[in-house]
């Protein structure tokens, strides 16, 4: 069976990044080591904890019936409702006992190769700050609420936890072919904006959907977006929107199916055949698609974010 990662790659220490790999240059703050992990979690005050609690309560008003059961169970398993920004030490202990993962605090942005390396070692890098009241509804940079509330509950699911580790290992292969954009699209349409078929309908498991106030309803119920069964080759050729609701969501049958589709793919062959730019627009429906719902794209056609177009 083909593997995502080259078996000779050793992830016990941060592997050397060769010069012919093109990544965004980020200046490492002086107080951080090569792993970019902060020496300690930020000291959150009462106002920060209040913001966390309000965000948490708002999401709990929207997510039951729309979030994947694995996510809702993960919230319970980690007792994330106990109030205030969670302590990463306690969270990591509980997560380690469940699936061997931990959570480490990092600055807002870290380099791709460091991010992949942490995932390959079952460490989830989480933003070391929380949004303010001014950015309560929408922030582009992932803060601790997005990272911990949105991502960490899914890491309690054993199969999804394995997928995330494989994704990190796959990152190093994508870098060797300079196809990070394509692998980024896979992350976007699964880890951030993925949907899953459950016995009682389509639910959301992507952190970008689960950590925001609007997108859960839009992704799961609205007529506007396309919902298409996941095909890894197709997704890795598809453009995506960073600052607005998605015109298209991809649906998986199960986390086992997602893991299998990804691990069994011959990525060397795929990367050799991929163009550097995306082939498909983010709203496209193409011949090979297994379409669950063909969207009207009403939201997009009315102008999207900033136009006043209703999401649902």
Nearest residue (CB) to Fe ion, 87 versus 141: 141
Window 35 to 94, contacts with Fe ion (CB under 5 A) = none
Query: Judged by CB, which is closer to Fe ion: 208, or 295?
Result: 208
Residue 107 neighbours by CB under 8 Å, 6+ apart: 29, 32, 36, 38, 127, 128
Identity of the residue, 207 or 245, whose beta carbon is nearer to Fe ion in the bound complex: 207
Which range binds Fe ion by CB under 5 A, 74-82, 200-208, 218-226, 297-305?
Answer: 200-208
Structure tokens at 294: 């063909």
Residue nearest to Fe ion (CB): 207
Query: Can residue 207 be called a binding residue for Fe ion (CB under 5 A)?
Result: yes
Stretch that binds Fe ion, among 51-59, 201-209, 233-241, 257-265 (CB under 5 A): 201-209
The rounded distance, in Å, linking the Cα atoms of 216 and 208 is 9
How many angstroms separate the CA atoms of 62 and 210, rounded? Answer: 9
CB 147 → Fe ion: shortest distance, Å?
A: 6
Q: Which stretch binds Fe ion (CB under 5 A): 123-131, 138-146, 224-232, 299-307?
A: 138-146
Question: What are the Cα distances from residue 72, in Å, to 95, 136, 165?
Answer: 15, 22, 21
Whichever of 142 and 304 has its CB closer to Fe ion, that residue is 142
Tell me the window of 128-136, 139-147, 162-170, 270-278 that interacts with Fe ion (CB under 5 A). Answer: 139-147
List helix spans (H) across the chain: 46-62, 69-77, 88-99, 112-120, 144, 158-176, 180-187, 207-210, 215-221, 232-235, 255-263, 267-273, 298-301
* Total interface residues for Fe ion by CB under 5 A: 2
Q: Decide whether 127 or 295 has the Cβ nearer to Fe ion.
A: 127
CB 130 → Fe ion: shortest distance, Å?
15
Closest CB to Fe ion among residues 37, 207: 207
- Give the side-chain half-sphere CA count within 13 A for 188: 22
- Which of the stretches 78-86, 137-145, 162-170, 243-251 binds Fe ion when contact is defined by CB under 5 A? 137-145
Shortest distance, CB of residue 203 to Fe ion, whole angstroms? 18
Q: What one-character-per-residue DSSP string does 28-86 give? A: PPTT--TT---SS-----HHHHHHHHHHHHHHHHH-TTTB-HHHHHHHHHTTGGGSSSP
> Which residue reads 């095909």 in tokens?
231
Task: List the interface residues with Fe ion, window 140-169 (CB under 5 A).
Answer: 142
Nearer to Fe ion, 95 or 207 (CB): 207
Least Å distance between CB 145 and Fe ion? 11
Q: Indicate the burial class of 203 (C-beta count within 10 angstroms; 0-12, 13-18, 19 or more).
A: buried
Q: Could you list the residues that contact Fe ion (CB under 5 A)?
A: 142, 207
């Amino acid at each position: 069976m083909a593997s995502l990662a080259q078996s000779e790659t050793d992830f016990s220490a941060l592997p050397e990044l060769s010069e012919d790999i093109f990544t965004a240059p980020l200046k490492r703050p002086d107080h951080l080591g090569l792993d970019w992990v902060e020496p300690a979690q930020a000291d959150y005050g009462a106002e920060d904890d209040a913001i966390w609690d309000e965000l948490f309560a708002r999401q709990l008003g929207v997510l039951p019936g729309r979030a994947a059961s694995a996510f809702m169970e993960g919230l319970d398993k980690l007792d994330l409702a106990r109030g205030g920004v969670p302590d990463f030490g306690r969270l990591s202990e509980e997560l380690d006992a469940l699936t061997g993962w931990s959570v480490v605090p990092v600055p807002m942005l870290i380099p791709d190769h460091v991010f992949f390396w942490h995932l390959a070692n079952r460490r989830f890098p989480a933003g070391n700050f929380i949004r303010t009241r001014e950015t309560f509804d929408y922030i582009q940079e992932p803060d601790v609420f997005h990272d911990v509330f949105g991502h960490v509950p899914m890491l309690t699911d054993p199969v999804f936890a394995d997928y995330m580790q494989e994704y990190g290992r796959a990152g190093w292969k994508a870098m060797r072919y300079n196809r990070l954009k394509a692998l980024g699209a896979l992350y976007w349409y699964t880890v951030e904006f993925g949907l899953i078929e459950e016995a009682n309908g389509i639910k959301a498991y992507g952190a970008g959907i689960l950590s925001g106030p609007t997108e859960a309803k839009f992704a799961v119920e609205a007529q506007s977006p396309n919902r298409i069964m996941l095909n890894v080759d197709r997704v890795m050729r598809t453009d995506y929107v960073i600052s607005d609701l998605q015109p298209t969501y991809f649906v998986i049958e199960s986390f086992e199916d997602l893991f299998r589709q990804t691990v069994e793919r011959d990525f060397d062959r795929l990367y050799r055949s991929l163009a550097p730019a995306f082939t498909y627009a983010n709203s496209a429906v193409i011949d090979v698609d297994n379409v669950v719902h063909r969207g009207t794209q009403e939201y997009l056609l009315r102008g999207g974010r900033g136009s006043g177009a209703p999401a649902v």
